[in-house]
Amino acid sequence: MTFAYLRCKYRILRFYANVNGFRKIVTFFLRFYVMVWYNKENPAKRVNEMNIGEKIKRIRQHRRMTQKELGELVDLSANRIAQYEMGYRVPKKPLLNQIAEALRVSPLALSDGGNGPANDILEQLFWLDEEQPGVIKLVPTERGTARYNANPNLALHYDNNDNWPPRSPVAMWFDDTILDDFLKDWAAVQKKLYAGEITQAEYFEWKIMWPENSGSLLLLKN
């Protein structure tokens, strides 16, 4: 085997390596273009996938962790974590559970659904409250003497103050004992937030740890 032969083979291998590298670059941009086009054509799917990445990013930042630190806990690179957070990739449920464990949060906090109607509704409300702080107002009620079913034109009355919007809001309730109990817990925690008894970070911590830190653990069994 002569030196000239080895040198020729080296040049051939280097050529293929360069071609392969170029091919990887082209493949990356093609995948990126397809992702952008797909998200544009499927806005509902885009929102669902991006929400997962946003959840991971927000909770990671809440934990004051870097992408590298989170990646090391789940045997992934920082680049892969970044891809998940940007929505370029979507982790499957087993990996989501690992990430949730690494972030020390309830698996429901990173879930994209499929955990029962009650759990899914509450998680959606949690993140809506996080995306638009103050959009959800929880107010405990007290039973009065009037019967709603006996008078279909009856309206619920409230004491006007600065906490209510200029227009009268519409009330909605869930005919579910466990769900109702949890909403009462949430209302109590939200009241502490508005009263300055807990910080915004502590409020967020309570939401991402639910239901481990709530008395409504039975929701997991729904």
**What pLDDT score was predicted for residue 65?**
96
Query: Tell me, what's the pLDDT at 8?
Result: 55
Q: For residue 46, what pLDDT is reported? A: 43
Residue in the block written with tokens 């409504």: 216
Question: What domains sit in the chain, N to C, each tagged with a CATH number?
Answer: 8-105 (1.10.260.40), 117-221 (no CATH)
DSSP-derived secondary structure letter, 197: S
Low-confidence ranges of the chain (pLDDT < 70): 1-50, 146-155, 162-163, 213-222
Per-residue pLDDT at 171: 77
**pLDDT (0 to 100) of residue 201:** 92
**DSSP string computed for 127-193:** HHHHHSTTS---------SS-TTT-TT--------TTS-SSPPPP---S-HHHHHHHHHHHHHHHHH
